[in-house]
């Protein structure tokens, strides 16, 4: 019989020894899933020498946490993580394993589900239904439609879309609640077919994206690389602005990956986000959900980006942006001066 105290397992993700914010979002999802049974949640942190960060995480969340340690778990290795977590899951018998829908989570979650015979539901952005039979919501067709999915097996591996479940703000010590417990477990030894040699740091960081009050982003719908000039002109109308883009734009070589916003790119939270020719796939929305105000420009009135926008403009950006620039530039005093 499954232990009710271990019904939901959250797999935390660290970066350079610190808990990534997406972990707290996944914990917020787990709380929703648990309902009144907050004690059913356990957090597990795979890695090596992670005891201190696990203790801090338990104190901040008020949730019991497990340090699953082995030298082979750091740096990250999909094979060793899968095997170590599978052994823990078989021992504790949770019904739901919640994992951040990051590049790392997407890497090991499906193999973990296959290895333990579980259902696998990815990019979860909503939850409904009864506690004993929850239904999960995810986007399909580049965000144009949403589907409801229910696991048909006793165990479900879920990846939780960043930005879909805001973390408790701020996560801090909970003095009025019981002190959370911490377990230190040694991951069982396993035969490794591959060995991680280390992590290569990403190239040049586009710090302007993190500091900008206004971000103007380009998607495949801008038509071609030559139209990036229009995006830059629009961004130039605002002080403290930056140019971002979707992954497709980077893949086509129009902009470097330092400009990419989304699940596998950067997360931004500007006062104003202008999406130009962006369809609104869940992967991109994950990187800009925290924007204060969103303006979308797209020729497709059914584009998913309009559901996330405060203002939607159905127009060809090659027509609309020059009109905006022409209207705004004379007011700035010196031509070409934002």
- Domain at 307, CATH number: 3.40.50.1220
Asked if the structure places residue 322 within a domain, the reply is yes
Q: Note whether 140 and 180 are same-domain residues.
A: yes
Asked if the structure places residue 157 within a domain, the reply is yes
Q: Note whether 211 and 172 are same-domain residues.
A: no
pLDDT at residue 290 in the model:
87
The pLDDT tens digits for 256-271 are: 988 999 988 888 999 9
Q: Note whether 14 and 117 are same-domain residues.
A: yes
3-class state of residue 87 by DSSP: helix
Asked if the structure places residue 16 within a domain, the reply is yes
Distance, C-alpha 220 to centroid of its chain: 21
Q: Is the pLDDT of residue 3 over 70?
A: no
What is d(CA 266, CA 171) in angstroms, rounded to the nearest whole number?
Answer: 22
Q: Note whether 11 and 111 are same-domain residues.
A: yes
HSE of 44, CA atoms in CB hemisphere, 13 A: 27
pLDDT at residue 48 in the model:
93
Of 131, 157, 186, which residue constitutes the final position of a domain?
A: 186
Query: What domain range includes position 52?
Result: 4-186
From 52, 54, 62, select the one nearest 31 (Cα to Cα).
62
Q: Is the pLDDT of residue 193 over 50?
A: yes
pLDDT at residue 332 in the model:
45
Which residue has 């296959």 as its token pair? 114
From 276, 21, 323, select the one nearest 171 (Cα to Cα).
21
The pLDDT tens digits for 117-175 are: 999 999 999 998 776 789 999 988 877 788 999 998 889 999 999 888 888 754 444 44
Question: How many domains is the chain partitioned into structurally?
Answer: 2
Q: Note whether 173 and 251 are same-domain residues.
A: no
The pLDDT tens digits for 225-246 are: 999 999 999 999 998 999 999 9
- Residue 300: Cβ within 10 Å count: 14
Q: Note whether 15 and 96 are same-domain residues.
A: yes
Q: Which token pair is 142?
A: 């580049």
First CA to last CA distance, the chain: 66
């Amino acid at each position: 019989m499954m232990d009710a105290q271990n019904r939901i397992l959250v797999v935390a993700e660290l970066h350079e020894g610190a808990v990534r914010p997406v972990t707290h979002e996944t914990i917020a999802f787990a709380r929703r899933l648990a309902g009144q049974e907050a004690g059913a949640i356990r957090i597990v942190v795979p890695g090596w020498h992670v005891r201190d960060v696990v203790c801090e995480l338990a104190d901040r969340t008020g949730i019991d946490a497990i340090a699953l340690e082995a030298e082979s778990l750091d740096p990250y290795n999909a094979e060793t993580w899968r095997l170590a977590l599978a052994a823990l899951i078989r021992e504790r018998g949770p019904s739901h394993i919640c994992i951040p829908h990051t590049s790392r989570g997407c890497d090991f979650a499906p193999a973990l589900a296959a290895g333990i015979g579980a259902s696998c539901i990815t990019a979860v952005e909503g939850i409904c239904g009864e506690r004993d039979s929850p239904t999960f919501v995810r986007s399909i067709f580049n965000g144009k439609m949403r589907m409801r999915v229910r696991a048909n097996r006793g165990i479900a591996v879920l990846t939780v879309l960043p930005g879909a479940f805001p973390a408790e703000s701020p996560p801090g010590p909970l003095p009025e609640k019981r002190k959370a417990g911490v377990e230190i477990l040694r991951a069982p030894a396993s035969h490794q077919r591959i060995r991680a040699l280390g992590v290569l740091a990403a190239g040049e960081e586009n710090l302007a994206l993190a500091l900008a009050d206004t971000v103007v982003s380009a998607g495949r719908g801008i038509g071609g690389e030559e139209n990036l000039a229009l995006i830059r002109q629009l961004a130039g109308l605002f002080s403290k602005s930056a140019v971002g883009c979707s992954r497709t734009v980077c893949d086509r070589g129009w902009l470097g990956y330092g400009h990419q916003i989304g699940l596998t790119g950067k997360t931004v939270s500007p006062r104003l986000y202008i999406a130009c020719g962006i369809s609104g796939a869940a992967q991109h929305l994950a990187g800009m959900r925290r924007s204060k105000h969103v303006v979308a420009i797209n020729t497709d009135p059914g584009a998913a980006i309009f559901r996330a926008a405060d203002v939607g403009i159905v127009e060809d950006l090659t027509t609309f942006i020059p009109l905006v620039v022409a209207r705004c530039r004379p007011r700035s005093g010196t031509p070409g001066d934002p």
